[in-house]
Amino acid sequence: MIFTLVVSSQSINSAPKNTEILWDTYGIPHIYGNNTQGAFQAFGWAQMQSHGNLLLRLYGQARGRAAEYWGEEYLDSDKWVLTMGVPQRTRTWYQAQSPAFRSYLNAFVAGINAYAKKHPDLIDDEVEVVLPIRPEDVLSHLQRLLLFTFVVNQESVADMSQHQSPAASNGWAIAPKRSASGKAMLLANPHLPWGDLFLWYEAQMTAPGIDAYGATLVGIPVLAIAFNDRLGWTHTVNTHDGWDAYKLQLQNNGYLFDGKVRPFETTSFLLKIKQKNGSLREQILTVKSSVHGPVVSQKDGQVLALRVVGQNSSGVLEQWWDMAKANNLTQFQKALQRLQLPMFTVMYADREGHIMHLFNGLVPMRNQGDFAYWQGIIPGETSKTLWTKNHPYQDLPKVIDPASGWLQNANDPPWTITSPPAIKAEDYPLYMAPRGPVYFRAQSSARMLAEDDSISFEEMVAYKHSTRMELAERILDELIGTAKQQEDELTRRAAEVLVAWDRKADADSRGAVLFSFWVDNIDLDTLFKIPWNEKSPFTTPDGLADPQSAVKALADAAATVEKAYKKLDVAWGEIFRLRSGKLDLPANGGDGDRGIFRVVNFAPTGDERFQAVGGDSYVAAVEFSQPVKAMALTSYGNSSQPNSPHVSDQLPLFARQQLRPVWRTRKEIVAHLEERKVF
């Protein structure tokens, strides 16, 4: 492990006269800015030190020039970025920043470029072509990430059945009345893929008027999930619909709209594509746009134009920054009311004991239809279906200090965030959010909170790591009973394995592999005898609609498991692994559709095993005592740079279902100091 100490005349234990970064032994940068610009510059430097190769690659993609830099495999990405108008819009966004925040962006970029100039040997040669970075690159990356990955992405447009974001999360806020300490608590638990533009970066930022700790996605210059001494928040992907695909009626080289033919607006881009011999092939991309937005699909005689919210929301970063600077709920809501953040639930708790859930987002004001209607292809020939305004803050589903004393969101609609319900669906437009169903992970989330009327900080951390399969609780007894009655010896042995199983996906759980393979063999939509009911949102669906078919699927799963692993009761962690570099550890957790709160997504590795590729990524558990009590984990470590000791150094903790203490005071940080950088 490399220890670097930059010596200055000031004591390391004293408040800094200069801007500095104190790196702790987990590679977390604790930034002390003697002014705000200094803090932003240090944060740019820190992100380069921890994720320089990734950051430059992401900014290159956000320019729409990645194919020019790195070849054909990036061509679709470039086309998407240019079709969505990202580079052109970025210039407007940069000019729209407040003078103060524009100076912060400039400082962040100055830190990036200064690091690259100082340490060119630590940056991969192939990504150096992106340098120098400009402030506009940060805003292009922000657009690509928020608007054109989370709100809508290429896969969703290609497959209209996948209208929701593929990302997920859990979030809890617990009021003093349900907290063993009498202090409000917050649980932040986003679930994202473990790589690319979804990678979390943990940091502390301290400057005049701010001392915030949390995480952001690589390349973003402010904390997106954070807490300070007085309050904190997290985000989950909400059931928000911020885009629509409109079917156009073509006529006379234009399209029909309100009885008249309108011409398309046309923009052309010169694409340069790097070839394997280093030469550049050129190609013209022509983008047609209607009044709805750019044309994104022309096939089978159907032309679709895309309309996306948030294209005027240039103040996202400053809103996040001011959320982290807030000292109370009033100040926090004042920042939220700007509605610059295009989507995401906000889950909040503070030292005064308040908790809040906000179904945040830019929700179009639509003239007709329910949520399901707007998931489909929308007729584009009339202004009656063309939304032009969004709902104001006061229209959004929100609750502060519910009677239950707890709030949860596991990507379920806002109607089921607590029990008894605090927000009534009938009080909102039918298109605001779906009426259901509530999936098993959210049911497990609500059950843990509802069943414990005095939750300690330690219990909250333990609940966070729950691998219990809610799905198994609904149908396992009936499945086992039916399986035991079968004449087939394999089916009866499978039943005995399920009898002995602890109904969890812990590393040593035996039966979880068999059950999971069985789930893969069935159709969850037709499995249940009693369907989901919004009057019983946390106890339905239930029972087996066709026990014999379910048992047949169990026999098939048992045959597969026994053939692959030579036994039916193979341990979960033997098959499901955490692999990174030289690490190969037994995993715990699994897919949320099983009702597992501790989400880990796996991909097959080719050796009859499965490797974690996403899920629990950044976790923070916070109690707003004085001083604040906090623990956290960034599952894959806080660096992706080659040869960094912080690539996957937190993965063993992840395997043991542990969080690490958060060091926030200067005394704590100095006691766990790895490196110091003074600017």
Residue 342: how many other CB atoms lie within 10 Å: 25
Q: How far is CA 265 from CA 233, 286, 293, 310, in A?
A: 42, 10, 10, 21
**Model pLDDT, residue 2:** 38
**Model pLDDT, residue 5:** 42
Q: For residue 342, is the peptide bond before it cis, meaning its omega torsion is within 30 degrees of 0?
A: no
Q: What type of residue is 156?
A: S
Encode 456-483: b = buried (16+ Cβ within 10 Å), e = exposed: ebeebbebbbbbbbbbbbbbbebbbebb
On whether both 24 and 144 belong to a single domain, the answer is: yes
Shortest CA distance to 272 belongs to which of 71, 57, 128?
71
On whether both 38 and 156 belong to a single domain, the answer is: yes
CA atoms within 13 A on the CB side of 39: 23
Domain boundary among 418, 449, 464: 464
- Is the pLDDT at 119 greater than 90? The verdict is yes
Gyration radius of the chain over CA positions:
26
Confidence class for position 14, pLDDT limits 50, 70, 90: low
On whether both 137 and 184 belong to a single domain, the answer is: no
CA angle 93, 289, 71 (to 5 degrees): 70
Does residue 379 lie in a domain region? no
The C-alpha atoms of residue 637 and residue 645 are separated, in whole angstroms, by 9
**Model pLDDT, residue 4:** 42
Q: What is the DSSP letter of 426?
A: G
The C-alpha atoms of residue 374 and residue 366 are separated, in whole angstroms, by 9
Structure tokens belonging to residue 207: 């400057």
- Is the pLDDT at 17 greater than 90? The verdict is no
Residues 512/469, Cβ–Cβ less than 8 Å: yes
**Three-class secondary structure of residue 526 per DSSP:** helix
DSSP letter for each residue of 348-412: EEETTS-EEEE--S--B--SS--TTGGGSEEE-S-GGG----B--GGGS-EEES-TTSEEEESS-
On whether both 412 and 389 belong to a single domain, the answer is: yes
Domain boundary among 464, 492, 510: 464
Expressed in angstroms, the distance from the first to the final Cα of the chain is 23
**Model pLDDT, residue 167:** 73
On whether both 48 and 174 belong to a single domain, the answer is: no
On whether both 356 and 271 belong to a single domain, the answer is: no
Residues 226/212, Cβ–Cβ less than 8 Å: yes
Does residue 206 lie in a domain region? no
Residue 98: give its domain's CATH number. Answer: 1.10.439.10
Whose tokens are 């709030």? That residue is 407
DSSP letter for each residue of 99-161: HHHHHHHHHHHHHHHHHHHH-GGGS-GGGGGGPSP-HHHHHHHHHHHIIIIII--HHHHH-TT
- In this predicted model, what pLDDT tens digit does every residue of 230-257 receive, in sequence order? 999 999 999 999 999 999 999 999 999 9
User: If you average pLDDT over every residue of the chain, what do you get?
Assistant: 95
Shortest CA distance to 304 belongs to which of 377, 243, 355?
377
Domain that holds residue 67: 4-163+626-678
Residue 397: give its domain's CATH number. Answer: 3.60.20.10
Residue 451: how many other CB atoms lie within 10 Å: 8
The mean per-residue pLDDT over the stretch 570-583 comes to 96
DSSP letter for each residue of 160-204: TT--S-S-EEEEEEE-GGGBTTSS-EEEEEEEEESSGGG-EEEEE
- Is the pLDDT at 163 greater than 80? The verdict is no
- In this predicted model, what pLDDT tens digit does every residue of 174-226 receive, in sequence order? 999 999 999 999 999 999 999 999 999 999 999 999 999 999 999 999 999 99
- Is the pLDDT at 274 greater than 50? The verdict is yes
- Is the pLDDT at 124 greater than 60? The verdict is yes
Q: pLDDT above 90 covers what percent of the chain?
A: 95
**Model pLDDT, residue 394:** 98
On whether both 282 and 326 belong to a single domain, the answer is: no
Residues 43/215, Cβ–Cβ less than 8 Å: no
Structure tokens belonging to residue 501: 């199983």
**Model pLDDT, residue 427:** 98
Whose tokens are 């992405």? That residue is 153
- Quote the longest CA-to-CA distance of the chain: 82
Number of domains composing the chain: 4
- Is the pLDDT at 679 greater than 70? The verdict is yes
The mean per-residue pLDDT over the stretch 59-74 comes to 98
Contact residues for 520 (Cβ-Cβ < 8 A; gap 6+): 557
Domain boundary among 464, 491, 513: 464
- Is the pLDDT at 305 greater than 50? The verdict is yes
Does residue 216 lie in a domain region? no
Residue 479: give its domain's CATH number. Answer: 1.10.1400.10
- Alpha helical stretches, state H, 585-636: none
**Model pLDDT, residue 299:** 86
The mean per-residue pLDDT over the stretch 95-118 comes to 98
Residues 187/284, Cβ–Cβ less than 8 Å: no
27 φ/ψ sector (left φ>0, alpha ψ -120 to 50, else beta) = left
Does residue 207 lie in a domain region? no
On whether both 40 and 68 belong to a single domain, the answer is: yes
Does residue 204 lie in a domain region? no
The C-alpha atoms of residue 595 and residue 72 are separated, in whole angstroms, by 40
The C-alpha atoms of residue 674 and residue 23 are separated, in whole angstroms, by 6
Does residue 336 lie in a domain region? yes
**Three-class secondary structure of residue 663 per DSSP:** coil
Does residue 613 lie in a domain region? no
On whether both 272 and 334 belong to a single domain, the answer is: no
Contact residues for 63 (Cβ-Cβ < 8 A; gap 6+): 81, 87, 130, 137, 140
- In this predicted model, what pLDDT tens digit does every residue of 378-433 receive, in sequence order? 999 999 999 999 999 999 999 999 999 999 999 999 999 999 999 999 999 999 99
Confidence class for position 629, pLDDT limits 50, 70, 90: very high
The C-alpha atoms of residue 339 and residue 591 are separated, in whole angstroms, by 32
On whether both 585 and 480 belong to a single domain, the answer is: yes
The mean per-residue pLDDT over the stretch 544-571 comes to 97
Structure tokens belonging to residue 16: 């800094």
On whether both 95 and 23 belong to a single domain, the answer is: yes
On whether both 14 and 67 belong to a single domain, the answer is: yes
Does residue 197 lie in a domain region? no
- In this predicted model, what pLDDT tens digit does every residue of 317-350 receive, in sequence order? 999 999 999 999 999 999 999 999 999 999 999 9
The C-alpha atoms of residue 298 and residue 295 are separated, in whole angstroms, by 8
**Model pLDDT, residue 375:** 94
- Is the pLDDT at 15 greater than 70? The verdict is no
Whose tokens are 């709100």? That residue is 151
Confidence class for position 6, pLDDT limits 50, 70, 90: very low
Question: Burial, 378: exposed, middle or buried (Cβ in 10 Å; 0-12, 13-18, 19+)?
Answer: buried
